């Protein structure tokens, strides 16, 4: 086969594109399909849920406190004192609940793009290691870090371009319904 034909075939296979998958649009880049979903969309039960967290895991403290309601308050406070600080960019895994450490409340600004890129890379790496085929992530840094929608989407797309997994992965990007149209325009521009 002539070299230019093979190069054309490889370019077509790896180039991002927009497709309709089960009557919903998806952005594909290699083996990753990026789907947009609003916050109340029901995902497949096996989907790993990624949440954003800070280095001391204060953002999800409401969940942790609710889980520990049966314990004596002194015990809860002692457990919090013994808690170790996570590093920005890390990902903590608890079953199908993953926590991307995207914020550091001791820093200014509390969210930095390099942390978001690092946590996104780790999420993809761990998904491949654990043979995960479906992940649901928030837009990195948008909720608490004052990262713009376009910068957040760029971080996701750059990460899946720079670290393409060998296995197929459905990446559900959870956002508010009013942001879906703007994000879709950004995906169209990259395709």
Contact 88, 57 (CB under 8 A): no
Higher pLDDT, 182 or 62: 182
Mean pLDDT of the chain: 84
Per the structure block, which two tokens stand in for 112? 């930095």
Condensed to tens digits (0 to 9), the pLDDT of residues 134-144 reads 999 999 999 99
Condensed to tens digits (0 to 9), the pLDDT of residues 87-140 reads 999 999 999 999 999 999 999 999 999 999 999 999 999 999 999 999 999 999
Identify the weakest region by mean pLDDT among 15-19, 23-27, 70-74, 155-159.
Answer: 70-74
Give the whole-angstrom CA distance, residue 74 versus residue 38: 39
Q: Does the residue 80 lie in any domain?
A: no
Q: Does the residue 127 lie in any domain?
A: yes
Contact 130, 167 (CB under 8 A): no
Q: Does the residue 169 lie in any domain?
A: yes
Q: Does the residue 69 lie in any domain?
A: no
Total number of domains in the chain = 1
Q: Does the residue 105 lie in any domain?
A: yes
Q: Does the residue 64 lie in any domain?
A: no
Q: Does the residue 74 lie in any domain?
A: no
Range of the domain at 15: 3-57+86-190
Higher pLDDT, 9 or 152: 152
Q: Does the residue 180 lie in any domain?
A: yes
Q: Which element (helix H / strand E) includes 180?
A: helix 180-190
Query: 135: domain CATH number?
Result: 3.40.220.10
């Amino acid at each position: 086969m002539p070299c230019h034909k093979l190069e054309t075939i490889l370019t077509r296979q790896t180039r991002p594109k927009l497709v309709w998958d089960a009557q919903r649009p998806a952005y594909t880049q290699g083996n990753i399909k990026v789907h947009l979903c609003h916050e109340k969309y029901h995902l497949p039960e096996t989907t790993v849920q990624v949440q954003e967290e800070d280095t001391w895991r204060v953002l999800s403290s409401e969940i942790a406190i609710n889980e520990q309601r049966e314990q004596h308050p002194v015990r809860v406070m002692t457990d919090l004192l013994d808690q170790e600080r996570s590093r920005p960019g890390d990902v903590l895994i608890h079953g199908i609940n993953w926590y991307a450490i995207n914020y550091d409340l001791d820093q200014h600004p509390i969210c930095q793009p390099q942390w978001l890129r690092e946590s996104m890379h780790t999420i993809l790496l761990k998904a491949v290691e654990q043979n995960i085929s479906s992940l649901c992530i928030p837009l990195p840094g948008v909720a608490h870090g004052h990262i713009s929608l376009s910068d957040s989407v760029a971080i996701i797309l750059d990460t899946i371009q720079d670290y393409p997994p060998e296995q197929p992965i459905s990446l559900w990007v959870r956002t508010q319904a009013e942001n879906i149209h703007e994000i879709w325009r950004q995906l169209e521009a990259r395709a």
